[in-house]
Structure 1
């Protein structure tokens, strides 16, 4: 593993800085708006705008990288993101903040694609799983550290925005100074929604509901904690512990996923999540220790849904369509992550902060009713299923390209489809509307 970190440490470090800045910005903006008296709906709208930017950034990023190259695209996005972050401190108009969040989301997705291009192309087949694990660890660590960075500032002054801008600016240094060869031009991943609606409907349902819950969590959990009377430092601990739960869940989840029916695991996780969220949903005031314990448990189960849905869907898909499947899963998750903060923010405005966990409990219950082991026919199960479970970041901090690092995907097909695309096709794709 030491060799892996030595070879890809700069890319992991860039990912870490990106996620520290993104995670801190998400929480900071929610708390800043709440303190200034803005409606809960706006807090959710900002998070929805961020996820919307991430979703459309996949298409924009392909075309930008094809046109100007990987490093130039990465540097340009870092500049735009840094400027957009600083603009939050200069302009108070919330409508413009929505545009800034879309720009930041688009820039982040493009940067993920650049980093994952390097990881995909330069990771040897025998170590691809370890390279993917390092990328996942950097992603989760950045999210945790971003939450804990709130402790550096007692109030919500512009200093925290400067820290976010600093992270977004510094993350370009490891990539801009790299001595590695540029990855080969990217190929736009094909997209056939109706095929996947018919083939893996339960996996798509799981991804959609996971997006609803997780998008609402990242956008509105800091606001919920504030309404429970927590100060900034305790909010940072609450968010950090919740995100850390997602990382700690991955190892035991992988062990279970490789030994038990994955539809049963999704059903069980959803049912337990619906139950675990009830104390936070209905208790108007909750002791600090119980708040942390319940929040940790809810997120432990919540962050199981995404990787289980990925593994379950790959079990029912041929290897040559798994990169396309990854794009479909991310879009489905992104749609949920856009809707979740908006809907939950409206509910919190009308009925109070506890609606965050009422919303999570109801979504989980709906998922448990939809994904039942008895309803799984295994009609389209792949010949190599069940495939090895691979932990993935429980958020949109990845692109369809990272699927090529997944040991479950056929290496020869990935190399042919994503690296050996004719230059004429890349140029044509870059200019098509």
Structure 2
């Protein structure tokens, strides 16, 4: 086990630095957007640039990797991350930022693909849980740490943007200088959405809603903290609470869903999300502790439902269908992350900061309601009877290569 951890040490250091930059970028960009006086809907349009670039990268990056290899593509993608955030400091115009955020989304998605592909080359059935637990903790610590760098600078000038660019550049060094063997080429995703819908309608619809939920919160959560009157440190704490909730709940929710009809777990997750969102709408920045607790509970259900969708679809799929099904879920999730911020931003424009929470509550309600409707339409014992094991999948917007490779390992 120790040898396995040592073999990924440089990769984890690159991941940690990348996630510090990611956490800083995803907080400083919306804060600066608010400071520029841009409307919430305009900020949500900028966010769709990021999610569009992210989704596009999941399709295109594997082709680059097959041509020139993981290390070179990883270096290029990290360069794109630095370029994207530094251009935001150079040209402060929302139309330009739409393009710059697309560059950042493309870079971060491709980097995730390569990191997770590399990890899957180093894991076995015996150490898989440990290795990916280290990976998830690294992502969580880095993202939270990056958010807490914002109070140390002034988002109204270029200092934090430059710092973010420097951190991204540093993230390239450990992997570029590593002597570890590069992994095998990333497999091209195969999409068959009609098959996915026939096997698991709830996974089909749930993947869209899961993408809308996580994409909207990650894009507009920082805007929400500013609009309710939180300072940067308080806002960073709220975002950290949501991430922490997602980190601690994946395994318990997964294990419970392994022992019963997963759709009942989906309903409970939806109800918890609705209640937590409604509670947050009743309080402002003066009730910080309440907001932190409610945010934590939102996180406990917002992130795990993606993995629930994957598990439910795999329960009904044959082993040779796992990769195709998981790839379809990945695509639908990406579409959700593009559309969600637009609708959520429009609701914030009309209803103020609480509009974000009402949108999240609506999405949770649709998720729970559709799961309940599917229970009435299809009995639990229809389709495959033997369940696959739940696998915790890291988010946000990270389900790509891990999802596909996890499906492959389950088939094996």
- Using the size of structure 2 for normalisation, the TM-score is 0.93
Cα distance in 2 for residues equivalent to 1:149 and 1:118: 29
Q: What is the alpha-carbon distance in structure 1 between the residues aligned to residue 408 and residue 188 of structure 2?
A: 21
Structure 1 unaligned regions, length at least 5: 412-433
Q: What's 1:325 paired with? A: 325
- 1:30-429 → structure 2 map (5 Å cutoff): 30-153=30-153, 155-283=155-283, 287-372=287-372, 373-378=375-380, 381-382=383-384, 385-405=386-406, 409-411=410-412
Structure 1 runs of 4+ off > 4 angstroms?
A: 282-286, 405-408
Residue in 2 that maps onto 1:426: none
The CA distance in 1 between the partners of 2:177 and 2:39, in whole Å, is: 43
Q: Secondary structure at the match of 2:43?
A: helix
Going from structure 1 to structure 2, the CA distance change for 1:115 and 1:380 (only over 3 Å counts) comes to farther
Q: Retained in 2: the 8 A contact 1:277–1:361? A: yes
Q: Is the 8 A contact 1:28 1:160 kept in 2?
A: yes
The answer as to whether partners of 1:228 and 1:286 remain within 8 angstroms in 2 is no
**C-alpha RMSD of matched pairs (Å):** 2.1
Shift of 1:182: 2.4
For the residue of structure 1 that corresponds to 2:82, the secondary structure is: helix
Partners of 2:109 and 2:398 within 8 A in 1: yes
Question: Match of 1:126, SS?
Answer: coil
C-alpha separation between the residues in 2 aligned to 1:54 and 1:323? 20
Report Cα offsets for 1:17-75 as digits up to 9, x if no partner.
22221222122111111112111012212222111111110121011112222111111
Contact 1:22 1:146 in 2 (8 A): yes
Give the deviation of 1:335 after TM superposition: 0.9
Q: CA–CA distance in 2 between the matches of 1:394 and 1:377?
A: 30
Q: Structure 1 CA distance, aligned partners of 2:316 and 2:265?
A: 16
Task: Return the TM-score normalized by structure 1.
Answer: 0.89
Q: Provide Cα deviations, 1:386-422, integer angstroms capped at 9, x if missing partner.
A: 22221111322242355324686223xxxxxxxxxxx
Q: Is the 8 A contact 2:215 2:397 kept in 1?
A: no
CA distance in 1, matches of 2:60, 2:230: 40
